[in-house]
């Protein structure tokens, strides 16, 4: 009903509901309300009525519960008259209280009702129409983007559970099928190619037959591969599944950082590849290619050469705080908290500290099943002024969450390259992540799949109206 929501909370002395009441003090009640995304401010009212507050605020809309609709109690009448006198109106919202714990729990497990409204409001506020988002993807076509980071091979072992092993209490599996997926920086390059960009991959492979096959496969799918062969073996992550359930993961490959000479050669190759490029994406998966020294060498030079620099990290050995001055960081909440050793502060405060220490311009922090929050780092004087927007997870049911962050980073970067806002980048990234979540393994997300998802979302409100 409005753009700004102020909630008035009765101070403890005016809660006359019996001995030892209220059970929850006004400070805690105010904090709980302030934590709600829809609430912009909370006022602990020291007066017996809201007349003084209403005279000061002069709200356009004053919302009361349905039980007040026929109320002629003098205190409420005084409030109503104050609102009307200043040109506002009183709206009586539903005052029904649900006492059934079963119903309350059921409501909590159906967040999609609230997510749909949030997404609709977000798109309306920032003009995120399908036409606008399609235009961003179109302007990203043919743009040259350099992807820098470790290549990782994701190997899925599909198994049949045959029972419990006789020699001990462990699950017995029978392998049925093995399938390889390109991961790490490799899949980010494939995402970009599928979305219409011209990616160049600078990564680390080995001098063996498997690496040669990987290079040929990536080249055939539109990626310019400029990897060096400094690894002893390709990093491979084995995942063992029964049906679609992942049972465990085995990482085959250890970090192998290069010496200063290799770091210099790699920096020269990256800088040369970024000449004339539109953007650079740096991803650190903790396997040694991305070092603090390499970032210190390349980031000042890349800033002179490309318009957009984005980055992401994964693993406890990553270099998150060394991504200085980039345009977009896309870590998970856990990665930020582990890097900063801060597990108690609010997400906004933690994000502000990360942006402040790195001087990065923006961040999209992913929250797993809960979606993501974008933070505008251009407003950094105080943590309380860090502008943010929450985007719910758009996938109703994730078949396989592997690679959702890579798809998000790719689409968000392409949106920024196309001239889109941070809100547009976050939303396009969320759509790409939703597409990725519906696939088994790391599958490149195409522009056509993103547009199809957008058209489907556009059709949902119309279908709902017809059903109603």
pLDDT digits (tens, 9 = 90+) for 405-440: 999 999 999 999 999 999 999 999 999 999 999 999
Question: Please, which residues have CB within 8 angstroms of residue 198's CB and are 6 or more apart in sequence?
Answer: 142, 143, 144, 145, 192, 222, 224
What are the tokens at 317?
């050995």
What does the pLDDT read at residue 383?
A: 47
pLDDT digits (tens, 9 = 90+) for 130-154: 999 999 999 999 999 999 999 999 9
What does the pLDDT read at residue 163?
A: 80
What does the pLDDT read at residue 22?
A: 63
Residue whose C-alpha is closest to residue 405's, from 280, 290, 291, 313? 313
CA–CA separation, 29 and 10 (whole Å): 9
The CATH code of domain 141-467 reads: 3.40.1190.20
What does the pLDDT read at residue 107?
A: 55
At residue 165 the predicted structure's pLDDT band, cuts being 50, 70 and 90, is confident
| Contact present, 371 and 392 (Cβ < 8 Å) | yes
**Mean pLDDT of all residues in 121-131:** 93
What does the pLDDT read at residue 18?
A: 47
Does 371 or 65 have the greater pLDDT score?
Answer: 371
| Percent of the chain with pLDDT strictly greater than 90 | 61
Average pLDDT, the chain: 88
Q: Which of 186-200, 236-250, 264-278, 422-436 is least confident?
A: 236-250
- Asked if pLDDT for residue 252 goes beyond 80, the answer is yes
What does the pLDDT read at residue 467?
A: 45
Q: Where in the chain is the domain with CATH 3.40.1190.20?
A: 141-467
Q: Which of 208-217, 374-383, 414-423, 459-468 is least confident?
A: 459-468
Question: Please, which residues have CB within 8 angstroms of residue 34's CB and are 6 or more apart in sequence?
Answer: 41, 42
**Mean pLDDT of all residues in 384-390:** 77
What are the tokens at 186?
């490799």
What does the pLDDT read at residue 253?
A: 82
Q: Which of 131-140, 340-349, 353-362 is least confident?
A: 340-349
Does 278 or 99 have the greater pLDDT score?
Answer: 278
CA–CA separation, 180 and 235 (whole Å): 12
**What is this structure's pTM?**
0.77
**Mean pLDDT of all residues in 434-455:** 94
What does the pLDDT read at residue 232?
A: 85
Let me know how long the chain is. 468
**Mean pLDDT of all residues in 390-413:** 92
- Asked if pLDDT for residue 96 goes beyond 60, the answer is no
What does the pLDDT read at residue 398?
A: 82
What does the pLDDT read at residue 16?
A: 58
- Asked if pLDDT for residue 100 goes beyond 80, the answer is no
Q: Which of 20-34, 164-178, 229-243, 340-354 is least confident?
A: 20-34
CA–CA separation, 302 and 313 (whole Å): 18
Count of beta carbons in the 10 Å neighbourhood of residue 376: 18
Q: Which of 7-21, 27-41, 59-73, 185-199 is least confident?
A: 7-21
- Asked if pLDDT for residue 197 goes beyond 90, the answer is yes
Which stretches of 213-342 are assigned E, i.e. beta strand? 224-225, 228-231, 236-242, 245-252, 279-284, 308-313, 328-329
């Amino acid at each position: 009903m409005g753009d700004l929501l102020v909630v008035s909370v009765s101070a403890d002395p005016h809660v006359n509901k019996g001995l030892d009441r209220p059970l929850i003090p006004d400070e805690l009640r105010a904090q709980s309300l302030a934590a709600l995304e829809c609430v912009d401010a909370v006022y602990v009212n020291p007066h017996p009525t809201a007349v003084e507050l209403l005279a000061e605020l002069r709200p356009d809309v004053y919302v009361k519960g349905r039980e007040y609709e026929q109320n002629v109690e003098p205190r409420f009448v005084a409030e109503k008259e104050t609102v009307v006198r200043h040109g506002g109106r009183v709206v009586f919202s539903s005052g029904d209280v649900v006492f059934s714990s079963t119903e309350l729990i059921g409501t909590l497990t159906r967040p999609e009702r609230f997510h749909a409204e949030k997404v609709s409001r977000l798109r309306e506020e920032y003009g995120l129409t399908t036409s606008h988002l399609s235009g961003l993807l179109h302007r990203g076509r043919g743009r040259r983007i350099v992807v820098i980071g470790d290549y990782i091979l994701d190997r899925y072992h599909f198994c049949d559970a045959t029972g419990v092993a006789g020699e001990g209490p462990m699950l017995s599996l029978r392998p049925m099928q093995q399938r390889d997926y390109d991961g790490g920086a490799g899949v980010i390059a494939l995402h970009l190619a599928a979305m219409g960009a011209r990616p160049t991959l600078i990564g680390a492979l080995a001098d063996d037959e498997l690496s040669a096959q990987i290079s040929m496969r990536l080249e055939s799918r539109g990626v310019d591969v400029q990897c060096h062969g400094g690894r002893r073996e390709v990093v491979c992550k084995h995942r063992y599944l029964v049906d679609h359930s992942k049972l465990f993961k085995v990482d085959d490959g250890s970090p192998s950082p290069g010496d200063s000479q290799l770091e210099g050669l790699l920096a020269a190759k990256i800088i040369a590849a970024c000449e004339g490029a539109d953007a650079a994406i740096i991803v650190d998966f903790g396997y040694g290619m991305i070092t603090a020294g390499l970032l210190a060498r390349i980031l000042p030079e890349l800033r002179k050469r490309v318009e957009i620099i984005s980055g992401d990290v994964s693993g406890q050995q990553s270099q998150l705080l060394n991504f200085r001055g980039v345009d977009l960081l896309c870590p998970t909440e856990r990665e930020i908290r582990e890097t900063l050793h801060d597990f108690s502060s609010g997400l906004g405060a933690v994000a502000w500290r990360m942006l402040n220490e790195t001087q990065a311009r923006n961040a999209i922090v992913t929250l797993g099943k809960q979606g993501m929050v974008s933070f505008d780092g251009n407003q950094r004087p105080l943590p309380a002024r860090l502008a943010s927007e929450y985007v719910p997870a758009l996938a109703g049911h994730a078949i396989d969450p592997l690679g959702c962050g890579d798809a998000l980073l790719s689409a968000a970067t392409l949106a920024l390259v196309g001239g889109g806002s941070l809100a547009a980048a976050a939303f396009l990234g969320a759509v790409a992540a939703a597409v990725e979540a519906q696939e088994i393994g790391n599958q490149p997300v195409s522009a056509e799949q993103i547009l199809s998802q957008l058209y489907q979302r556009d059709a949902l409100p119309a279908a709902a109206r017809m059903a109603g």
